Structure 1
């Protein structure tokens, strides 16, 4: 009898404690893969969705829906009145934000996105040079590319691996925005047709808080990432070597940088932050002079020339970040942790412009090979 009562109580409790939710049928759902935001002549934004089309008889592989709206939720309801399927956001791959809109601040967009549990926090935040809607429209007609969302996703991932752009997802942008003394960065892309139709990564967007304040290109980005301690390896092309050192058909030297060690220290002298950044880069020669054996003196010369060039790039990037008021390396965050008394006495946005940087770069060529 006791076992029967326990069994009945267990059944009753199981029934009462079971959860439930609205049924979502996959075949009837239109999963948004990309969201685009751009400014308009009015106070509203132009928002775009791309949704995959599974009907093999359809001309287009994606459904593009766009409209002016003041809020993301407002646009989603408009999209549901246009799309043949129920619009859902659980599979979003990228949020594309026009640069002119990003310069006004994007935290309000990020916050709305994070509030919805169906929006994936691992979707990429991308800044576009030009209209996201026009980019998505053009990609619909590129028959030699995968679906636009997957094409851009793979493009960004491969360029993150080569350190041409930073890795910035929704949760990463939000974390850096709220962290004192460090600013977010994000990849920049644009539609281009002069190098073969497609989308091109052009560099990195620098933010002050949630506002875009500057841009650096894909040659400068790897060394910003190196100073941030996030470089994954890259190919560096130098044009600094003298013409007499090159064959007639060679215009430079290409190096594979495959290992980076960063050392960063901060001290306060005379009430001013002094930041020492040391980069040790291990590289191999990918392309230079053919049919040559390099002696140790010439190899040292190459290392010195390229070290000096990379040092100049780093100093240029740091000076630019100070001019635009962006601290992507997180110098302020380090000072807040290690020199908190100084941190409490300054406005970091102003104090960052007075930081003195001392950059040291050492390139070590571990292998150059020979072709005969």
Structure 2
């Protein structure tokens, strides 16, 4: 043997082993799971286990089995589910984690920690809060002709694409929980007459759900305020005081520029949140916009209305003590002396935050 080939042969021999392989054929894969609080001592885990069965013609069909178990910890419920399962219980492919709102009001860190500690588990699973019991959604088994795990994944991906929610998973949540200058929000799902509906976002303070949500069009607006929106974010605003069809304007945000200015006086911060928005009108039932005067007037009306809606978002965030805009992180970075003198837990809900918006319509539609 040529001496030059000896190192190569040794490398092949050393790298050929698969000591940690985990064949899927021996496992029962979990694609979606739900955690609910039963009482102060017990939680309930409900999972969708994916497997295959043979149908006519020798073909295989993918099916779900819904299994539940209660216990004192997630590890405890996992062991109990494993005892009920034909094959090895394998949650390393889980894609969606649902947390019932009652359990989410307690610290969620211990429940995420059970997954973060296992090196074989994915960290990219989406985390969602549900109204009522999360397990009821998993028990649907199928939704709109898709297995529940796939259906939930598609729903979340669609909501992220159209800027209803931002993507959050176990890793991103863990990072924000560890950051004393920023809070996070999670998608909020409801089961209505067997329909799974996104009704808003759940507001968190630290690692607890505050019990407050942003609903209607406010989740999309929050994304805009966080500077996380997609290019084609679609929003709606009311141009008049009355809730009539003619007063609603649908628009697409094509470009936005956010500026957050924090000043301190007397040891108290003042925040100004400013936006320059370039939009296209999608639906509008008002008067003609052919003249520049009428167009400027509509720019002004939409700007004032967006400011009022941003004020509503800010008020809700402060009432929930949820710093989803990361103002505390900016204070730490740019005003450390003031930050060190403050008790952000108590002071954040009381700080003065002013919102400003300036809208420019670049496309008023074919009719106008």
Q: Which residue of 1 aligns with 2:96?
A: 94
Aligned length: 362
Please say if 1:314 is aligned against 2:316.
no
Aligned counterpart, 1:25: 23
Note closer, same or farther for the CA distance 1:10–1:134 as it changes in structure 2 (3 Å cut): same
Alpha-carbon distance, 1:369 to partner: 1.9
Contact kept, 8 Å, 2:247 with 2:285, in 1: the verdict is no
Could you tell me how far apart the structure 2 residues matched to 1:217 and 1:242 are?
20
Distance 1:291 1:272 in 2: 45
Mean CA deviation greater in 21-30 or 149-158: 21-30
Q: Assess if the C-alpha contact under 8 Å between 1:293 and 1:370 holds in 2.
A: no
Structure 2 residue runs without a partner (length 5+)? none
The CA deviation string for residues 59-96 of structure 1, in whole angstroms up to 9 with x for no partner, is 99311111111222222222222222321122111110
SS at match of 2:191: strand
For residues 162-197 of structure 1, the C-alpha deviation after alignment (integer angstroms, 9 at most, x for no partner) is 22222211111011110121012111111123xxx5
Does 2:329 match 1:336?
A: no
Partner of 1:198: 195
**Contact preservation (8 Å) 1:165, 1:201:** no
CA deviation vs aligned residue, 1:304-325 (integer Å, no higher than 9, x gap): 2221111111111112222221
TM-score, length of structure 1 as denominator length:
0.89
**Structure 1 stretch 349-358 or stretch 52-61: which is displaced more?**
52-61
Alignment partners' CA distance in 2, 1:126 and 1:91: 17
Look up the match of 2:174: 174
> Kindly tell me: are residues 132 and 59 of structure 1, through their superposed partners in 2, closer, same or farther at Cα, counting changes over 3 Å?
farther
**Helix, strand or coil at the partner of 1:55:** strand
- Provide Cα deviations, 1:272-303, integer angstroms capped at 9, x if missing partner: 11111111121111111399553222222222
From the two aligned structures, give the one with the greater strand fraction: 2
Tell whether the 8 Å contact from 2:98 to 2:129 is kept in structure 1 after alignment.
yes
Distance in 2 (alpha carbons) for counterparts of 1:121 and 1:42: 27
1:223 to 221, 226, 249: 221
- SS of the residue corresponding to residue 53 of structure 2 reads coil
Which secondary structure state, in structure 1, belongs to the residue aligned with residue 354 of structure 2? strand
Match status 1:265 vs 2:267:
no
Query: Structure 2 vs 1, CA of residues 13 and 371 (structure 1 numbering), >3 Å: closer, same or farther?
Result: closer
The 3 A distance-change label for structure 1 pair 167 and 44 is same
For 1:210, which of 197, 207, 210 is the aligned residue? 207
Moved more, 72-81 or 337-346: 72-81
